[in-house]
Structures are given as C-alpha cells and as structure tokens.
Amino acid sequence: MRTFAIVTVLEGAVSGLAEWLAFHRAVGVRHFVIYDNGIDAEAAATLALHEGLGVTTLPCPSRLDCAPRFAAYEHFLASRARLFRFAAFLDSDEFLVPPPGRPLDGWLARIPTHAGAVAVNRRAFDTAQPAQPDPGLVLRRFPRALAVTDRGENRVVKSIYRQGAIATIRDPHRAALVQGEWLMSDFSPAEADPNRPDAILGVRHGEIRINHYPSTALSQAAGPSGDGESCPRTQSWIGPMLDEMRHLLAFADAVAPGTAAQLRARYAGVPELARPVSPQEHRLWRLRHLHRPRAEAAGRFLQRKIFGAPRPW
C-alpha cells in the first residue's frame, strides 16, 4: 500500500504547476491524484510529462448534487482511497511545508494509530504586492506571510485523512470522521472552534504547515501585510525544489522536447534551472522516481496475491 497522496482538482490555466509538483516531490510526496476539470493545453502537457512520475490524471466527474471539486473528492474516496494510507485534499495554490531538512515520510510514520485525521494549520501569503517582478517561482515572488490577525485567514486548517476515516467530504477543511480522532500536526488533540467550523482553537504551528498563496482579488481585499513575516522554512526547500525541476527538464528534453521548451520559457527568469545535471545524479533520479515505483508496484501485487488486501486500521 502506498503511504500518502495529494488529491487536487485543476481547471483552466494552472500557473506554476511544474513548480507545485516539484516542490512536493522535494519534500517527500510521491503520489498525486489530479482531476482534470478543463485545464488548458500547457497544463495538460505538463501532466502528461508527469505520468510516470507518480501523477495520476483523471477526468473530473460531473454530478448534479455537488460541485465538481467535491464530486472529484467523492470519486477518490470511492475508487482510489483504498490505495493510500493517508491523503490530503489540497488546491494548486497550497504548499505542504515540513520543517527544513525533514521530509514528510518521517512525520507520516509517527502519526498515532488512533488518529483519523491530522489538522494542519494554513498560513496565507500576501500576493497583492509581489516583492519583486515575476521571476518565475511563486515561492520567491511572495515571501511574506499575512499577519496572524488578517481576515482570520491563518486560523483555517486543512486535514490529512487516514484511509477509512471519512466516508464523504463536502468541506475541504474538516470532513466528518467515521472513525479515529482529530489531532493537530504536533499530534496534540484538536479542538474545533464552535464559532467557525473551519477553524481550530489554540492554533499551533506544529511540525507541518500549509502555505496558501490566495488569488490576487482576495489578497487585495485583505490589504498589504507590512507587518507580516518572511518564511525561512519555505526558503529552505527552494534549493531541493530547483534540483527536482532541473531533473524534470532533463527528463523532458529526452521524452517530450516540446513540453521541455514550454517549461524553459515559463521559467526563463530562474537562472538556476540552466545549470545542467550530472548523468550520474540523473540516473539516480530516474531510479528513484521512475524505476523504484514500478518495482514497488510489483511487490504490492505479489503481497496482495499471497496475503490478501491489507486492513486500513
């Protein structure tokens, strides 16, 4: 069984999609389930390039009783959730950020067995006034977080759910648990705010945080955040993310030159991406992202045949 997946729904032009995927690969996410709700050609080409890199792209289902996003989440719970021990339902403007140098797999391994969901604090970043002209990377354009009091934005949480802990999801922040307990990301008990169903009392930063880069309209409504703070945690992951992007471009040069040219043009303002990767490092990257997942899938198939499907709890 795979450990963790990020589930998201994309539509239209998705700015920074390659950066979003590379960042999460750098922090230890190996599987993505992405629902296509009408993305543009550039985003479709980027997803096609990632087919062998842990990204599964599915058409977004259509239902009359709920919005496309929740129809996609319900589809995942019904058809794909059994493949993963944990899943997070994020948007493409949300980055799941662990502490510097501490990838997600170690934290996931320490989630207590009685936890049905882990609430992760979300910190909003000010996208109203970029710190510098667009250099190609979202994480560099908007380095300052909104102040904690701004619009209550920083009391919102998203959750990482254990397989079998939820049967349906109509609230992206806090779905009703059918088994297990709510914990914070430092594994202390989570207490809901009775006045705001999407917020948590006694906000703690915890070990894991979500950086949210909201739309320009929302950020302008909130106003500029001169009293915000920079995020050294995020900056510490930019180097590993750029390494992932360089390897992705080297891979794309070989398998999809047209997509590689599009990505290089989009990130022309990032000079680090022009640095070539060594053949040995790229072979190790391919082994980690292309060949090891296939070997693990074969091992899971044999395990299911011999021992049966594993129990989620």
The DSSP string of 22-55 is HHHHHTT---EEEEEEEE-HHHHHHHHHTTTTTE
pLDDT in tens, 53-112: 999 999 999 888 888 899 999 999 999 998 899 999 999 999 999 999 999 999 999 999
Whether the predicted pLDDT of 8 surpasses 90: yes
> Of 169-178, 204-213, 264-273, which has the strongest mean pLDDT?
264-273
* C-alpha Rg value of the chain to the nearest Å: 19
Of 8 and 224, the one with more pLDDT:
8
The DSSP string of 64-106 is SSS-HHHHHHHHHHHHTGGGEEEEEE--TTEEEEPSTT--HHH
Whether the predicted pLDDT of 121 surpasses 60: yes
Give, to the nearest 10 degrees, the angle between helix 279-286 and helix 238-255.
90
- Residue 173: what pLDDT? 79
- Residue 201: what pLDDT? 61
> Of 75-79, 291-295, 302-306, which has the strongest mean pLDDT?
75-79
Range name among 151-155, 175-179, 235-239 with the lowest pLDDT average: 151-155
The DSSP string of 158-179 is EEEEETTS-S--S-SS-PPPSS
Residue boundaries of the structural domains of the chain: 93-232
Listed in sequence order, the residues at least 6 apart from 11 whose beta carbon sits closer than 8 Å to its beta carbon are 36, 37, 38, 39, 60, 68
The average pLDDT across 232-239 equals 89
Whether the predicted pLDDT of 151 surpasses 90: no
**DSSP β-ladder status, 115-124 and 209-212:** parallel
In angstroms, rounded to a whole number, what is the distance separating the alpha carbons of residues 86 and 223?
Answer: 36
pLDDT in tens, 245-287: 999 999 999 999 999 999 999 999 899 999 999 999 999 999 9
In angstroms, rounded to a whole number, what is the distance separating the alpha carbons of residues 25 and 47?
Answer: 14
Q: Nearest-CA neighbor of 174 among 126, 118, 221?
A: 118
